[in-house]
């Protein structure tokens, strides 16, 4: 994860979301799960949220494809616990469907809006995400808990998606600006670690790790 700059609400947010939402809450101050179903006005600005944050999932830091990505409006403060925040633009995060489900109503995930630079780092030999070396024990624990909650290191799809963007940059020749636009966390870490110049050393180390963990790759099925 990387710090995310808050973007302003779209001009029609008050009319489409805030006003009808406040009216609903005035009549239902303690909504139950079934009550939200017909009052999910935040869905009206899903496309606006996507555009405001350039289509980047705030938790995976990867581009959400228009057709298959499953973009969602995630309530950082869960609406089940903070109903008064349900129609607040600043409580919304653009998140892919998979990670939205994992975040759910838990409150142990760090907020990208208040996150400091360098708290999350990538080990390019494994594509695993770890706390930055400069963090205190308490801060590192928060990073680790976030990674565990979202399963950023345990989900094969998450790792494969990071692998795809790294491979496309190192071996397929996509430009660094393109990488910054679609996989900003990877781009930031390549720059921080001095790997912006195209180098195959990163990919070679990753291939070694994959062969070691999966001997069948020695038979020719290399990355």
Taking only the tens place, the pLDDT of each residue in 142-197 is 999 999 999 999 988 899 999 999 988 888 789 999 999 999 999 999 999 988 87
Q: How many CB atoms lie within 10 A of CB 12?
A: 11
pTM: 0.87
Examine residue 6 and state whether it is found in any structural domain, yes or no: no
Whether 215 has a pLDDT exceeding 50, the answer reads no
Look at residue 58 in the predicted model and tell me its pLDDT. Answer: 96
* 107 DSSP β-pair partners: none
Looking at the fold, whether 97 and 161 belong to one and the same domain comes out as no
Looking at the fold, whether 69 and 144 belong to one and the same domain comes out as no
- The pLDDT mean for the chain works out to 89
Q: Residue written as tokens 């071996």?
A: 171
Q: Which of 46, 69, 103 is the last residue of a domain?
A: 103
Q: How many CB atoms lie within 10 A of CB 10?
A: 17
Looking at the fold, whether 93 and 127 belong to one and the same domain comes out as no
Examine residue 209 and state whether it is found in any structural domain, yes or no: yes
Looking at the fold, whether 17 and 91 belong to one and the same domain comes out as yes
**Mean pLDDT, rounded, for 103-119:** 96
Examine residue 45 and state whether it is found in any structural domain, yes or no: yes
Looking at the fold, whether 85 and 128 belong to one and the same domain comes out as no
Look at residue 121 in the predicted model and tell me its pLDDT. Answer: 97
Looking at the fold, whether 97 and 130 belong to one and the same domain comes out as no
| pLDDT tens per residue across span 24-59 | 999 999 999 899 989 999 999 999 999 999 999 999
Whether 71 has a pLDDT exceeding 70, the answer reads yes
Dihedral sign for Cα 180, 183, 189, 193, please: negative
Two tokens at 96?
């892919």
Examine residue 116 and state whether it is found in any structural domain, yes or no: no
Q: Residue written as tokens 């969602």?
A: 72
Q: Which of 39, 69, 103 is the last residue of a domain?
A: 103
Buried b (16+ CB within 10 A) or exposed e, 190-216: beeeebeeeeeebbeebeebbeeeeee
Q: Which of 41, 72, 103 is the last residue of a domain?
A: 103
Looking at the fold, whether 18 and 93 belong to one and the same domain comes out as yes
Determine what percent of the chain is predicted with pLDDT higher than 70: 88
Two tokens at 105?
């109503």
d(CA 13, CA 80): 21
d(CA 217, CA 40): 47
Looking at the fold, whether 93 and 173 belong to one and the same domain comes out as no
Whether 222 has a pLDDT exceeding 70, the answer reads no
Looking at the fold, whether 132 and 99 belong to one and the same domain comes out as no
Looking at the fold, whether 151 and 185 belong to one and the same domain comes out as yes
Looking at the fold, whether 90 and 135 belong to one and the same domain comes out as no
Whether 5 has a pLDDT exceeding 50, the answer reads yes
Residue ranges making up the domain that contains 166: 122-213
Looking at the fold, whether 74 and 131 belong to one and the same domain comes out as no
Examine residue 117 and state whether it is found in any structural domain, yes or no: no
d(CA 62, CA 69): 10
Look at residue 195 in the predicted model and tell me its pLDDT. Answer: 85
DSSP structure class, residue 63? B
Determine what percent of the chain is predicted with pLDDT higher than 90: 74
Tally of domains in the chain = 2
Look at residue 76 in the predicted model and tell me its pLDDT. Answer: 97
Look at residue 90 in the predicted model and tell me its pLDDT. Answer: 97
Look at residue 204 in the predicted model and tell me its pLDDT. Answer: 72
Backbone angles phi, psi at 94, to 5 degrees: -80, 115
Examine residue 1 and state whether it is found in any structural domain, yes or no: no
Look at residue 4 in the predicted model and tell me its pLDDT. Answer: 97
Whether residue 170 contacts residue 202, with contact meaning beta carbons closer than 8 Å, is answered with yes
């Amino acid at each position: 994860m990387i710090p995310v700059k808050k973007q302003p609400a779209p001009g029609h947010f008050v009319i489409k979301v805030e006003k009808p939402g406040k009216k609903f809450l005035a009549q239902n101050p303690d909504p139950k799960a079934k009550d939200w179903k017909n009052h999910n006005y935040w869905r009206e600005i899903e496309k606006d949220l996507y555009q405001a944050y350039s289509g980047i999932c705030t938790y995976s830091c990867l581009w959400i494809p228009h057709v298959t990505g499953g973009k969602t409006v995630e309530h950082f403060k869960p609406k089940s616990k903070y109903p008064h925040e349900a129609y607040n633009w600043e409580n919304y995060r653009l998140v892919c469907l998979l990670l939205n489900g994992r975040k759910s109503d838990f409150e142990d995930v760090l907020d990208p809006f208040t996150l400091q630079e360098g708290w999350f780092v990538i080990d390019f030999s494994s594509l695993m995400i770890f706390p930055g070396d400069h963090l205190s024990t308490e801060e590192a624990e928060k990073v680790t808990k976030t990674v565990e909650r979202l399963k950023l290191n345990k989900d094969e799809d998450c790792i494969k998606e990071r692998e795809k963007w790294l491979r496309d940059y190192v071996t397929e020749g996509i430009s660094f600006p393109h990488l910054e636009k679609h996989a900003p966390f990877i781009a930031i870490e390549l720059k921080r670690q001095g790997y912006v110049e195209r180098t195959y050393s990163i990919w070679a180390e990753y291939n070694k790790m994959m062969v070691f963990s999966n001997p069948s790759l020695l038979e020719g099925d290399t990355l």
